[in-house]
Amino acid sequence: SITEETVELLEPYLDMEDYNLETAKKVCGNVAGLCSWTQAMAYFYGINKEVLPLKANLTLQEGRLAAAQMELNNAQLQLNEKQMELDQVQAMYDSAMKEKQALLNDAEACRRKMNNASALIEGLGGEKLRWIASSKSFQNQIISLVGNVLLATGFLSYSGPFNQEYRNLLLQLWKKEMDNSKIPYSNDLNLTGMLVDNGTVGEWNLQGLPNDDLSIQNGIIVTKSSRYPLLIDPQGQGKIWIKNKEKNNGLQV
């Protein structure tokens, strides 16, 4: 209820030097409180004069804020709906892309299989002649198997005491007898290759057996014969080999 006119009427009093709380206290405590109250009300009016427009503006802005907030909420609801639709579409898209990738992978796998199959067919076509030759060779081996085994067993049983020259002579004599008896055998028969593999020969060489044909044949006779071998070994090569070969088996010398 304080007006600007009231404040203007008070100003001459408020500007007086003795119109203050300390001077009023000297006169009367109640007068001091009334003096202080009038000063405070005048000051409040000046502050409130600036605050009222701000309050009015605050109310206006709060209304605008409420309206904007309502619009924001509506927009947020629409955004949420669109986001749900987008998520659904994205899920459909991801599923379609996954299916597409799976189809591409299957297609690529099929393409690789087709290429491999084509390469295999081409390769097999080139191997046809070799297979025919190998099949013929296998057939000849089957026919010659009895004679080859007979030569191998004869070699193991009887050629041990002789040197390389007499061993070759024995084989030639046996082949002549087999020809007379019409027993088939392989003309290019390699007894060493038939009775032992290259890996075993290499292991024997590492154990001290010499690499010449005679020594390898002796090694075959020692390991394949059913009887105990007697080694005529003036150079000690066979002894060294047997010691190394049977070292892990606990050979007692």
pLDDT at 252: 87
Place of tokens 């599923």: 95
Spatial separation of the C-alpha atoms in residues 44 and 154, rounded to whole Å: 137
Which domains, ranges and CATH numbers included, belong to the chain? 4-76 (no CATH), 190-246 (3.40.50.300)
CA atoms within 13 Å, Cβ hemisphere of 110: 6
pLDDT digits (tens, 9 = 90+) for 66-120: 999 999 999 999 999 999 999 999 999 999 999 999 999 999 999 999 999 888 8
Kindly state the percentage of the chain with pLDDT values over 70: 99
Task: Spell out the alpha helix ranges (H) of the chain.
Answer: 4-14, 21-27, 29-158, 164-180, 191-195, 198-206, 213-224, 237-245
Neighbours of 60 (CB within 10 A): 10
- Provide the mean pLDDT of the chain: 88
Maximum Cα interatomic distance, the chain, rounded to a whole number of Å: 166
- 170 HSE (CA, 13 A, CB side): 18
* Tokens representing residue 80 in the block: 């949420």
Share of the chain above pLDDT 90, in %: 43
Residue 83 vs residue 123, higher pLDDT: 83
pLDDT at 202: 93
pLDDT of the residue at 28: 81
**Residue 121 or 238, more confident:** 238
Angle among Cα 42, 45, 49 to the nearest 5 degrees reads 150
* Residue 140 pLDDT: 73
Residue with tokens 């404040």: 7
Which pLDDT value is given to residue 126? Answer: 67
Least confident of 5-9, 10-14, 27-31: 27-31
Measure the CA–CA gap between 49 and 61, rounded to whole angstroms: 19
Q: Is the dihedral of CA 232, 235, 241, 243 positive or negative?
A: positive
Q: How many CB atoms lie within 10 A of CB 149?
A: 12
User: Regarding predicted confidence, which is higher, 128 or 34?
Assistant: 34
